[in-house]
Amino acid sequence: MRRFAIIDSTLREGEQFANAFFSTQQKIRIATLLDAFGVEYLELTSPAASPRSMEDCSTIAGLGLRAKTLTHTRCHPKDVELAIASGVDGVDVVIGTSSELRRFSHGKSIDEIIALAREVIPVAVAGGVEVRFSTEDSLRSELSDILRIYEAVAALGVHRVGIADTIGIGTPSRIGEIVAAVRGVVGPKIDIEFHGHNDTGCAVANAWAAIHAGATHVDTTVLGIGERNGITPLASFVARMYVDDPEGVKRKYKLPLLRDIDHTVAKIVGVDVPFNACVTGFCAFTHKAGIHAKAVLNDPSTYEVLAPDDFGLSRYINVASRLTGWNAIQHRASQLGLKFTDDQARHIAEQIKSAADAGHMTLDHVDAILHAEFRRVSEPQGLLSGLVEGKGELVASNGTAGVMTGG
């Protein structure tokens, strides 16, 4: 589990997102943020795509980042030569192996694919770069075909092989089976990379299953952007791995940067960060129901598997609702420097529930009610009635605590 590495493909797969038209400066900004966060690799658009793509590859590769730079290329010698010339640290060679892609894309048989790999991979190896060879559409390919290909390329000096769920049809159990089978063919020294699309919503689960089955590298993009519904979202994958090993993930990555990364890329591509995005969505650490709020205030782990502090964030207790409870009211009052007895808090909670039933409420509305109630019970007449009603401690407007005594 601790060996896994993230290959962030926002600058390659992410550029295939419908709204992505990255300028060179935007690419530099994204690359710099991801490097500061701690991703181990940055995957870039192939230099063969366009002259600007070639320039951008050279620019990012020349920034002196800690993260290694990779580029994705077709299984073609000229593409690989161009990639090496751009100055990247690694070349990710890919070719379709499903019957659909072999028929409607490049038209090659499995034997022809193996022959082509034997021609192309030595070019990359001779260039002194890190080499990955991946089958595209692995999940719709015959497993026996994939194993034949990887048995052949393992002998050619590749550093890593790839499994690509190109159309997002994989399930965690199936991904685990394929990874385990590939591991059995390539042995323990060659790494395995997983690239999972999110068409059916399983990308994070599949990436996690791949790691558990023996994969060493997972492809991500910021917000999961990419072709169609994109691939495994960076923040979501990190959150999933954090649950397994919080301390290990905190050592590997600067978690508080995730929010800035997500919001930066969202702004660049003209979308909002989804409300339910892991870690960075605005609801990620919000609690609303009274029973939840009470438990979280007593012990956050009751309803939080992720610690917001570790991600540089704070939890929020939503009190402007008919679902609020008096414990949440006491919490909000304490934030405002107000103090009520428990009975008074219960009374205020009922007021807020009634008001919420009558129409939409905001935190400002709640705060107004709290301040009004505090003024009411702090006045001389209100102070006496408050003490009689509450039978306990009350803080008056001068900040002193009044305690009811006998007699």
Angle at 354 between CA 352 and CA 360, to 5 degrees: 75
Is residue 401 predicted with pLDDT exceeding 90? no
For the chain, the maximum distance between any two Cα atoms, rounded to a whole number of angstroms, is 99
Query: Given this model, what pLDDT does residue 1 score?
Result: 58
pLDDT for residue 387 is more than 50 = no
Confidence of residue 2 (pLDDT cuts 50, 70, 90): low
Average pLDDT, the chain: 90
Catalytic residues: 292
396 pLDDT band (50/70/90 cuts)? Answer: very low
Question: Which residues are CB-contacts of 370 (< 8 A; sequence separation ≥ 6)?
Answer: 329, 332, 333, 336, 338, 348
Higher-pLDDT residue of 285 and 65 is: 65
Q: Does residue 224 contact residue 278 with C-beta atoms inside 8 Å?
A: no
Whether 406 has a pLDDT exceeding 70, the answer reads: no
Average pLDDT, stretch 137-164? 96
Give the domain ranges of the chain.
Answer: 5-269, 286-403
Please tell me the distance from the alpha carbon of residue 360 to that of residue 320, in angstroms, as a whole number. 8
Fold observed for domain 5-269: TIM Barrel (3.20.20)
Mean pLDDT of 324-331: 87
Task: Give me the pLDDT at residue 5, please.
Answer: 98
Among 62-76, 166-180, 383-397, name the one with the lowest average pLDDT: 383-397
Measured CA angle at 211 (ends 192, 64), to 5 deg? 65
Poorest-confidence range of 40-44, 84-88, 247-251, 403-407?
A: 403-407
Integer Cα distance of 90 and 75 in angstroms: 14
Q: At residue 400, does pLDDT exceed 80?
A: no
What is the tens place of the pLDDT at every residue in 246-287?
999 999 999 999 999 999 999 999 999 999 999 999 888 888
